[in-house]
Amino acid sequence: MLFHAFLIKYAEIAIKGKNRYLFEDALVKQMRMALSRVEGEFKVTKEQGRVYVFCPESYDFDEAVEALQRVFGIVGICPVVIYEDKGFEQMAEDVVSYMEARYPGYEGSFKVYTRRAKKSYPMTSMEVSAELGGRILDAFPLARVDVHNPELTLSVEIREKIYVYSETIPGPGGMPVGTNGKAMLLLSGGIDSPVAGYMIAKRGVKIDAVYFHAPPYTSERAKQKVVDLAALVAKYSGPIRLHVVNFTDIQLYIYDQCPHEELTIIMRRYMMRIAEHFAKESNCLGLITGESIGQVASQTLQSLAATNEVCTLPVYRPVIGFDKQEIVEISRKINTFETSILPFEDCCTIFVAKHPVTKPNLNVIRRSEGKLAEKIDELVEEALRTTEVIEVQ
């Protein structure tokens, strides 16, 4: 069956007044961006409180639906067949032929739901529904009407033309990206941080990212993996500005000067400081990490408190209460899992101590950081200056 359009259902529209326009405009913008990757000219319009996609004469249905399923804010995608308005008799014939094409030999329960956008139409919505229901029963003698709990709802919208649809494909939910500011994701090559970025983007937040690279200890391929992960997240979040920070000299210096069991914590504190620098520079309102309580030594409550201490921006940790398996499930759903498990080294794992502290004492950590006084500012400056920015689409 050829569908001429999609009716887009969106929720969270308890948002009233001016905010509703912002929401809808952001939704339309994100939809256009997502559909621009699908072949053919799609027209996204907002009319009378509804958002429609009008499709080109020929297009790949699955590709279009998949693109829309990545646009946050959409809760349902209804494929629509559009008929010319040539009077009620023709409408009844069209609706029956729709049913015949879509549900041949239909035997279940159904109801017809009519909505008139064109109030001048000579019949009321109730009359149209009742009359169409009768015609469908004539054509499908084993079907029956159930207005309370039908297995099939056939929706008919009377506009300049007649819109017919009966199916709602689920969307991703959430809020359109761009309606809730911007935040900086600390993106590693692991499983957790891409999921964290996806979850925050789902709430309407635009994402920038920072990756700490430690050549030659981490390879070009490890970096490419992170770029690939950013591209996968960008399918949902829109373009991501990825900052690739050369972290090697800072790591080596910490390794030389500080107790090895504190290495990970101190290194993570420098990651947060540098991420925050770029966050502020590009007007981000928070940082995002893929940390989950207790997952590793650096994610005990004490360790999280120690890393958190160096940040002035809020740090959002959307997977904080999730088990690994729950995070893996989301990463499979958003298609980052297979890339995340590619076996390239991470800068965190290269210098790990055999017995990292699990309950770091802040005073002790600060004292150890004091040993970096001589060169650390210069090294951080250097890292900021040599950071490479990649625009990931």
Q: Any contact of residue 197 with Mg ion (CB under 5 A)? A: no
Q: Any contact of residue 157 with ligand ATP (CB under 6 A)? A: no
Cβ proximity to ligand ATP: between 179 and 248 the closer is: 248
Q: How many residues bind Mg ion (CB under 5 A)?
A: 3
Interface with Mg ion in residues 341-360 (CB under 5 A) = 346
Q: Which residue is nearest to ligand ATP (CB)?
A: 190
Cβ proximity to ligand ATP: between 35 and 275 the closer is: 275
Beta strands in 89-232 (DSSP E): 109-116, 144-145, 152-158, 162-165, 169-170, 182-186, 206-213
Q: Any contact of residue 188 with Mg ion (CB under 5 A)? A: yes
CB of residue 104 to ligand ATP, shortest distance in Å: 49
Q: Which does 191 bind (CB under 5 to 8 A by kind): ligand ATP, Mg ion, none?
A: ligand ATP
CB 196 within 8 A of CB 346: no
Interface with ligand ATP in residues 165-224 (CB under 6 A) = 186-188, 190-193, 210-212
Output the CA angle 242-245-248, nearest 5 degrees. 150
Output the CA angle 12-13-15, nearest 5 degrees. 100
User: Which has the closest alpha carbon to 365: 293, 296, 298, 275?
Assistant: 298
Q: How many residues bind ligand ATP (CB under 6 A)?
A: 20
Q: How far apart are CA 30 and CA 28, in angstroms?
A: 6
Max CA separation in the chain (angstroms)? 88
Q: Which does 152 bind (CB under 5 to 8 A by kind): ligand ATP, Mg ion, none?
A: none
Q: The dihedral of CA 178, 179, 182, 187: what is its sign? A: negative
CB of residue 346 to ligand ATP, shortest distance in Å: 6
Interface with Mg ion in residues 35-94 (CB under 5 A) = none
Q: Which stretch binds ligand ATP (CB under 6 A): 101-109, 164-172, 250-258, 293-301?
A: 293-301
CB of residue 346 to Mg ion, shortest distance in Å: 5
Q: Which stretch binds Mg ion (CB under 5 A): 25-33, 145-153, 180-188, 372-380?
A: 180-188
| Site track for ligand ATP across 337-356, x = CB under 6 A | ---------xxx--------
Cβ proximity to ligand ATP: between 157 and 291 the closer is: 291
Q: Identify the residue whose tokens are 């005990």.
A: 300
Q: Which does 193 bind (CB under 5 to 8 A by kind): Mg ion, ligand ATP, none?
A: ligand ATP
Output the CA angle 149-151-152, nearest 5 degrees. 110
CB of residue 378 to ligand ATP, shortest distance in Å: 21
CB 238 within 8 A of CB 352: no
CB of residue 289 to ligand ATP, shortest distance in Å: 4
Q: How far apart are CA 312 and CA 112, in angstroms?
A: 56
Cβ proximity to ligand ATP: between 64 and 334 the closer is: 334
CB of residue 260 to ligand ATP, shortest distance in Å: 16
CB of residue 291 to ligand ATP, shortest distance in Å: 5
Q: How far apart are CA 279 and CA 181, in angstroms?
A: 12
Beta strands in 174-296 (DSSP E): 182-186, 206-213, 240-246, 287-288
How many helices, marked H, and strands, marked E, lie in the chain? 14, 15
Q: Which stretch binds Mg ion (CB under 5 A): 8-16, 69-77, 147-155, 340-348?
A: 340-348
User: Which has the closest alpha carbon to 350: 257, 260, 220?
Assistant: 260
User: Which has the closest alpha carbon to 195: 157, 236, 166, 167?
Assistant: 236
Can you give the binding site for ligand ATP, defined by CB under 6 A? 186-188, 190-193, 210-212, 289-291, 295-296, 298-299, 346-348
